[in-house]
A and B are shown apart, each in its own frame.
Chain A
Amino acid sequence: MIFGINMRIIAKELFYILGLAFLTYFVMEIFWQGIVLSYFNINWVLLLWVITAILIVLISNKKNGNK
Chain B
Amino acid sequence: MTINKIIKFRIILFLLLFASVCFFFYKAIIPSGKIIYTNNFEKENYFLGKLSPNERLATGDKKIENIIIANPVYFNLYTPRTFDKAILKYRYKNTAKTPLIETGVLVDKNAWRYDLQPVENRLIDQLSLVWNQIRDGDEMLLIRPETLGGEYGINYSGIKDFILNPPEFNKIAAYNYNLSFNYILDDYQPSESITQDIPALRGAYQFFVYLKNEDLYLDFIFYDLNKNKDSDDFDIRLYFNDELIDFKRIEDDNNISDNGEVSKENNFQFKLANLPEGAYKIEVKANNDIITKIIKSRHKKMAFIHKIELFNAGKEDIKLYTDSNSIQATTIFPESLQIIKVNENNFDINETYKQFEILTDNYGASSEILLQKDGLILSGDGVFAFSQYSLINPKIKKADYNLDVNKAGIDYIIAKYKSPLKTGEWSVAEVEIDLAQAYRENNKSSFIISAPALKQEYNKELYFDLIEIELSGRGLFDKINDFWN
Decide yes or no: A34 and B46 within 8 Å by CB, A13-B9, A13-B10 being known contacts: yes
Q: Which residue of B lies closest to A10 (CB)?
A: B9
B442 within 8 A of A: yes
Find B13's partner among A9, A17, A34, A35 (CB 8 Å cutoff).
Answer: A17
CA distance A36 to B23 in the complex (A): 9
CA distance A14 to B80 in the complex (A): 30
Q: In chain B between 229 and 246, which residues have their CB closer than 8 angstroms to a CB of chain A?
A: none
Find B24's partner among A5, A10, A35 (CB 8 Å cutoff).
Answer: A35
List of B residues within 8 angstroms of A32 by Cβ: 28, 80
- One of B14-22, B56-64, B359-367 at the interface: B14-22
Find A36's partner among B1, B17, B24, B442 (CB 8 Å cutoff).
Answer: B24
B9 touches A28 (CB 8 A): no
A39 touches B27 (CB 8 A): yes
Q: How many A-B residue pairs have CB under 8 A?
A: 48
Q: In chain A between 11 and 52, which residues have their CB closer than 8 angstroms to a CB of chain B?
A: 13-14, 17, 20-21, 24-25, 28, 32-39
B353 within 8 A of A: no
Secondary structure dominating the interface of B: helix
CA distance A5 to B5 in the complex (A): 10
B78 touches A38 (CB 8 A): yes
Find B25's partner among A6, A9, A35 (CB 8 Å cutoff).
Answer: A35
Q: Which residue of B lies closest to A36 (CB)?
A: B24
Shortest distance in angstroms between B7's beta carbon and chain A's nearest beta carbon?
10
CA distance A35 to B21 in the complex (A): 10
B333 within 8 A of A: no
A38 touches B17 (CB 8 A): no
Find A35's partner among B1, B16, B28, B47 (CB 8 Å cutoff).
Answer: B28
Q: Which residue of A lies closest to B81 (CB)?
A: A32
Find A37's partner among B10, B23, B46 (CB 8 Å cutoff).
Answer: B46
A38 touches B47 (CB 8 A): yes
Q: Which residue of A lies closest to B444 (CB)?
A: A34
Decide yes or no: A35 and B80 within 8 Å by CB, A6-B1, A9-B6 being known contacts: yes
A13 touches B13 (CB 8 A): yes
A28 touches B13 (CB 8 A): no
B46 touches A5 (CB 8 A): no
B78 touches A21 (CB 8 A): no
Find A13's partner among B6, B24, B27, B46 (CB 8 Å cutoff).
Answer: B6
B443 within 8 A of A: yes
CA distance A22 to B66 in the complex (A): 36
Find B80's partner among A6, A10, A20, A34 (CB 8 Å cutoff).
Answer: A34
List of B residues within 8 angstroms of A33 by Cβ: 442-443
CA distance A28 to B27 in the complex (A): 13
CA distance A33 to B14 in the complex (A): 24
Interface pairs (11), CB distance under 8 Å: A13-B6, A13-B9, A17-B13, A17-B14, A24-B21, A32-B28, A33-B442, A34-B28, A34-B46, A35-B80, A39-B23
Instruction: List 4 additional contacts besides A9-B6, A20-B17, A39-B24; criterion CB under 8 Å.
Output: A5-B1, A32-B80, A35-B24, A38-B80
